[in-house]
Amino acid sequence: MHPITQNLYLSNKDNIQNPKLLKRYEISGILNVAVEVNIDAPRVFSFHAFIKNVKSLFTLGLNHHTSVLRLLKHDIQYQKVGLYDGENPFSELQQALVTLEDMLDNGRRVVVSCRMGRSRGPTIGVLYLCRNHGMTFREACIHVARVHLEMDISPRLLECIRKYYSQLVPPATVSPDLS
C-alpha cells in the first residue's frame, strides 16, 4: 500500500484481496480501475466497526439477537470503474475520478487499485491530486513517484490523459504542465 494522501492509497489486485492488510491500513473503500480484474468485496473485522455497530444497536433499538460476528464485520465499499492501460473514453476517466471523490467525501479511507498497481491506479491518483489539491500533472507525478517507486504510467494512457486533461482538471485549478 502506497499512501498518496492521508485517506488515499494505491495498490495492486493482490493487496486489495488481503483482509489483514486492509485492516492494518484501516481501508474502508476500494476503487478497482482494472477492467480485467474482478474481486468480491472483502470484509474485515474491526473493533471500531464493533463500537459503531453497538452504538447503533442501542441508539436505534435494533434486535438484541444481532450476532457479535455481524457487529464486528466492517463492510468495505467496493466500486469498479474498468479502465484499459491505454486509450479510454473520457466518460470512464471522469467516472473513476468522481467515484473516488465521492468515496473520499464520505469519509472513507480509499485504496485505488489496478492489476499490477503501476499505471491505471497511479494515473487516477495523480489526476485526483491535480483536480483536488491544486498540483500540476508533473508535481502530482513526482509526489506519487516518491512514495510509489513502481509507478509506470503507460505511454498510451499518458497520451489519453493529455487528450482529456483540460476536461478532467478545470483550467481554473492549475495549468497542465504535462512534461
Q: Please state, for a pLDDT cut of 90, what percent of the chain lies above it.
A: 41
pTM: 0.77
Class of domain 2-41+76-168: alpha beta
Q: What is the pLDDT of residues 96-110, one digit of tens each?
A: 999 999 999 999 999
Instruction: Quickly list H helices, 13-119.
Output: 19-24, 47-60, 68-72, 90-105
Contact 8, 125 (CB under 8 A): yes
40-69 pLDDT per residue, tens: 655 544 455 555 555 655 555 545 444 444
Over the stretch 107-145, which tens digit does the pLDDT of each residue have?
Answer: 999 999 998 888 999 999 999 999 999 898 889 999 999
